[in-house]
Amino acid sequence: MNSKQAEILLAVLYTGSMIFSVTSVISLVTTWQNWVVTLDGCIDVDCGCILYGINTFRTFLGGDEKLCHFAAYALTPIIVISLCLGAYHGYRCCIHKNLDEPKQINHGQVYNDRRNLNGYVVVRVKKRVAFKRWMPIGFLAALVCCLSLAHAVVITDGYYKTCEQYRRNLIQLLGSRGREILAIHNRLSCGAIFDFMDYVEPDKNHWSRTEMNTGIALHLAIYTSWFNFVAWIAACSINFIMARKRQRNLGEKFCCC
């Protein structure tokens, strides 16, 4: 893989990361705001987050809203970085440089040529300087990988914690007994549990909550968050591979690539 191929692939990965991040944020924030009034039943703490919900004896409460704030805003720097790097590499790959200024060749410049080019005007295509900052961008990508991994883990774990807690709440609401409890615990997927939540959980704001498929929205947020993480893992690997290759080609120290 040469430098141009690497930059094309990086442009695609950065653009994909930006799309995945925006999709994840929109899906999560939409779901959070749809449930915030219904789930926020705490007195001293804002607990309207759809993630990490808690089942109590009488009602179902949301998780700490700080968790939803993290899930909503943690991808903001990633979106900005992806936009900048994607635009930069995309520009370098797709927008060709103009021609050099016309130059007149004299006899001394063409002494090895059989043709007499003295007085000819030659126009050459400008060539872009090869990208050199593989190592700094690689370390930046590694930091972004850590942030995107934390984001994906939080929303995934919060999703399953809310699902498990609402299973218990659903048993209380339906008054389930015996094998019905086993069916709810062992056979119903989290998507089905959130479907029950959409239709069974009462709206504390006089039924102003809009109808939505909470399970699908959260699945979309989770999948795109993990896709974003994979994209940055690939981008980080490409940057370090190209940095290592440049070190071998130029004989530079690894830290200076």
What are the sequence ranges of the domains in the chain?
A: 3-94+140-204+213-255
Compute the distance between CA of residue 142 and CA of residue 255 in angstroms, rounded to an integer.
15
pLDDT of res. 98:
55
135, 242 Cβ separation under 8 angstroms: no
Compute the distance between CA of residue 148 and CA of residue 85 in angstroms, rounded to an integer.
16
pLDDT of res. 125:
53
DSSP the chain: --HHHHHHHHHHHHHHHHHHHHHHHHHHHHHHHHHHHHH---SSS---EEEEEEE-SS-EEEE-HHHHHHHHHTTHHHHHHHHHHHHHHHHHHHS---BPPPEE--GGGGTT-SS--TT-EE--B--PPPP--HHHHHHHHHHHHHHHHHHHHHHHHHHHHHHHHHHHHHHHHHT--THHHHHHHHT--HHHHHHHHHHHSPPTTTT-SPP--HHHHHHHHHHHHHHHHHHHHHHHHHHHHHHHHHHHHHT--GGG-
pLDDT of res. 130:
60
Count CB neighbours of 102 within 10 A: 9
pLDDT of res. 3:
74
User: Block means of pLDDT (10 residues each) for the chain, length 257 residues?
Assistant: 82 94 96 90 86 89 93 94 89 65 51 48 55 80 95 97 93 83 88 90 61 91 97 93 78 49
Residue 149 CA from chain centroid, whole number: 9
pLDDT of res. 109:
47
